[in-house]
Amino acid sequence: MSASQAAAEDAALVNVTFEGKPCAVPAGKTVAAALLGDAHAGYTSIHPLTGERRAPFCMMGTCFECLVEIDGQPNRQACLTIVREGMDIKRQYPDKEQER
C-alpha cells in the first residue's frame, strides 16, 4: 500500500468511543455496521426478558435488535444512525429499554 492510499484510508475513519474504549471506525457507516466490523464490540444490547445478548439483525430498522445508547440517549437504532466523530456509544441494557 502506498503512503497516499494509507493516508486516504486514515482520513476515512472517525473516532468514537464504545463502552469506554476508543475505536476508529469507517466514516459513512452506520453504528451497527461499524460495531459489527470491530473485534471488541460483539453485541449491542441485552434482551430485557431473557438477558440474552443481542446484535443487529435486519439492518433496516424494523426489528429493534440493535438498540444502543448514543451520547447519553437510550433506545437509538444503531442500524439507522451514521457514525460521527466523537460519538459515545454504549450497549443498551434492559432498564433503559423500558424507557421507549
Q: Which domain holds residue 35?
A: 13-91
pLDDT digits (tens, 9 = 90+) for 55-85: 788 889 998 888 899 999 999 999 999 999 9
Distance of CA 10 to the CA centre of its chain: 19
Is 97 part of any domain? no
CATH number, residue 84: 3.10.20.440
pLDDT of residue 57: 83
Nearest partner of 100 among 79, 73, 81, judged by Cα: 73
Q: How far is CA 60 from CA 15, 30, 52, 69, in A?
A: 24, 11, 21, 18
pTM score, two decimals?
0.75
Tell me how far apart the alpha carbons of residues 13 and 24 are, in angstroms, rounded to a whole number. 6
Is 6 part of any domain? no
Whether 42 and 72 have beta carbons less than 8 Å apart is answered as no
pLDDT digits (tens, 9 = 90+) for 8-54: 555 699 999 999 999 899 999 999 988 887 655 566 667 767 777 77
Is 98 part of any domain? no
Work out how many domains the chain is built from and give that number: 1
